[in-house]
Structure 1
Amino acid sequence: MKIVITCKLPNEAIESLLETYEVVMWEVENEPMPRKRLLEEIQDADGLFTNVADQIDKDLLAHANCLKVISTMAVGYDNIDLEEARKKGIVVGHTPGVLTEATADLTFALLMASGRRLVEGMDIIRQNKWKSWAPFFLTGQEINRKTIGIIGLGRIGLGVARRAKGFSMEVLYHNRSRNEEVEKEHDAKYCELDELLERSDYVVLLAPSTKDTYKMMGRDQFIRMKNSAVFINTSRGTNVDEDALYEALNSGEIFAAGLDVFDSEPIHSNHRILQLRNVTVLPHIGSAAIETRMAMARLASENLRNGLEGRPLVHQVK
């Protein structure tokens, strides 16, 4: 059987696949397989190893004559047309769990960097603009004993809440449904979204990408936030109205933002949000720890192999 892998991976991460199947893997570092090549290779492929950079849409699946399994090296799967996959009898696997702690680490690092203006300070040194110590030079927002509001208290949200407790922060959260067990275990308080936005010093967006969450953070939501508040997004860029965020940052409606994801990726250096001094941006590296990415690749490989051999996937998208 033939497997298509749309990005270059270390052989040790996919050794079980290399030993068993005909593997076609894109060999260019840090670039996805071009669409034209993927359309050609998918025609006789039994398995597809993909990630968030690939659009597995109806058009692509129409070219898949033998495809049995799609395995994405990611938690999210909004780039995959699940309805079309189901119609064709293709099972879809993903990799939740293994990236929780690395993404929670990155989220809290982005929170701290944005609140305390760390990147801005580094830029000042690199531009030789540091002239002297001054009482209010590069002052940011404190983190200790402040209030954090987490929108989407799933695995990663809980990881962020645990880290926040280490800074004696009050933890508020908003979910589609309340979880009283989590509240007791993590001393978290459930809030409606408007209340969370009004009370939080740091608003962290960790909601999944769905029809209900599309641009859920817009002008009305940013207006409700404190002028001193910091907004962090490590979920999906489509959850945020980027024009509204730009205006909120540019006008001083909110203090700062830290972003690991964008509506359309990758962004270009001329993206207008990069013109703002009060934004910290990263190139979608939430889970980019070496150990985590290896674990994700191995889990995606296991999902793929299980599906091809007729066994249940470790994590199947329902």
Structure 2
Amino acid sequence: MSKPTLWVTRHLTDPVMERAHRDYHVLQTADDHVMSFSELIAASQEADAMLICHSEHFVGPMISRLSDRLKIVANHSVGVDHCDLNALRSKGISVTNTPDVLSDATAEIAMLLMLGASRRAYEGDNMVRSGIWKDWAPKMMNGFQITGKKLGIIGMGRVGQVVARRAKGFDMEVHYHNRKKLPDTVITSAIYHDSLESLLSTVDVVSLNCPATEENHNLINPETLAQMKAGSILVNTARGALVDEDALIEALNSGHIRAAGLDCFKNEPGGNPKLSELQQVFMLPHIGSATDDTRAAMGFRALDNLDQFFAGKTPQDLLN
């Protein structure tokens, strides 16, 4: 029996590619560029399946032009805001993602951003690198100490739950807003808020860990920023679509928001040049899952879903 043909749109880790080549006839670009709509449409004519990243978008009119040969799109990501699940289902194309395996790595980045923003990491690093650190003073580089403060998590899913556990190591009091209150067996010693306003007005640090659904677009906006405590900190390791960046910049410039730690942006790659002008913003290039272990686990999870599909089983992470 011949192997299914699999288009792998980006260059994944070596162990993942070794397994893919073992079990599939693999097609790939030579230079690891982000494939355009026209390239994705052409690739669908050659493949039974595609293994994609969040950099490839399956949305809009291009979906109707995909070949009937393509039967499944396996995401190398948890978030699938770059895929129109309903349109792909109508086209007869299954979609999977890779939950669970990147929660620890993303939570680590959330804590890094929280610490980096609160302790003015960008400013300090720049002082040393630029050679302007010439003295010490009692008021030099004084930041915000997170130990014992109140952390508000928006979206208590897999990543949010790990962030909550890591925050406990800093003796933070964890609050959260979610579609529903979680059982105490899932999350312990965390205070549930049934409204976003209640959470925002209570906590010192806000961590965004919710999906970028249509209803969550610009969740952080002028109104919700005004509801946050003066001098609080915003951390985003979820999706750039959650934040109205112009409103955040205004809140940072006014001092209402003390600092922000951001791993994702409206415009990716590239970020927002206006945010880059602000020293009180600590930024990373969307690397929440960027560890060797996690990227390998994500690739293996995507391949697991493909294996199950071609074995005639329902993939464990089927979304549509």
TM over 0.5: yes
Aligned twin of 1:98: 101
Q: Go from structure 1 to structure 2 and tell me whether the alpha carbon gap of 1:182 and 1:149 turns closer, same or farther (over 3 Å shift).
A: farther
Kept in 2, the 8 Å contact 1:215–1:238? The answer is: yes
Kept in 1, the 8 Å contact 2:96–2:305? The answer is: yes
Aligned twin of 2:196: 193
Match among 162, 167, 184 for residue 164 of structure 1: 167
Moved more, 31-40 or 217-226: 31-40
Aligned twin of 1:211: 214
Q: Secondary structure in 1 aligned to 2:144?
A: coil
Aligned twin of 2:234: 231
1:157-191 deviation line (CA, Å, top 9, x unaligned): 110110111111111100111124257x4200011
For 1:314, give the aligned amino acid. Q
1:86 to 2:84 alignment: no
Match among 154, 176, 181 for residue 179 of structure 2: 176
**Distance in 2, Cα, partners of 1:264 & 1:64:** 29
**Distance in 1, Cα, partners of 2:214 & 2:97:** 20
Q: Secondary structure in 1 aligned to 2:110?
A: helix
Kept in 1, the 8 Å contact 2:53–2:76? The answer is: yes
Match among 272, 275, 278 for residue 274 of structure 2: 272
Moved more, 6-15 or 241-250: 6-15
**Gaps (5+ residues) in structure 2?**
none
Kept in 1, the 8 Å contact 2:13–2:295? The answer is: no
Kept in 2, the 8 Å contact 1:46–1:308? The answer is: no
Kept in 2, the 8 Å contact 1:233–1:259? The answer is: yes
Aligned twin of 2:42: 40
Aligned twin of 2:62: 60
Deviation at 1:100, TM superposition (A): 0.6
**Distance in 1, Cα, partners of 2:117 & 2:287:** 16
For 2:142, give the aligned amino acid. T
For 2:254, give the aligned amino acid. S
1:28-64 deviation line (CA, Å, top 9, x unaligned): 25x3234443222212311010011011124333222
Kept in 1, the 8 Å contact 2:122–2:279? The answer is: no
Q: Go from structure 1 to structure 2 and tell me whether the alpha carbon gap of 1:126 and 1:205 turns closer, same or farther (over 3 Å shift).
A: same
Q: Go from structure 1 to structure 2 and tell me whether the alpha carbon gap of 1:136 and 1:173 turns closer, same or farther (over 3 Å shift).
A: same
For 1:101, give the aligned amino acid. D
1:226-284 deviation line (CA, Å, top 9, x unaligned): 2221100111110111111111111111100000011121125x711111111011111
**Distance in 2, Cα, partners of 1:182 & 1:111:** 26
**Distance in 2, Cα, partners of 1:15 & 1:306:** 18
Kept in 2, the 8 Å contact 1:17–1:305? The answer is: no
Deviation at 1:90, TM superposition (A): 1.3
Deviation at 1:18, TM superposition (A): 1.1
Q: Secondary structure in 2 aligned to 1:14?
A: helix
**Distance in 2, Cα, partners of 1:261 & 1:58:** 23
**Distance in 2, Cα, partners of 1:5 & 1:39:** 14
**Distance in 2, Cα, partners of 1:173 & 1:115:** 20
Aligned twin of 1:285: 287
Aligned twin of 2:111: 108
**Distance in 1, Cα, partners of 2:299 & 2:62:** 23
Deviation at 1:307, TM superposition (A): 1.5
Deviation at 1:205, TM superposition (A): 0.8
**Gaps (5+ residues) in structure 1?**
none
Match among 230, 234, 258 for residue 255 of structure 1: 258
Deviation at 1:89, TM superposition (A): 1.7
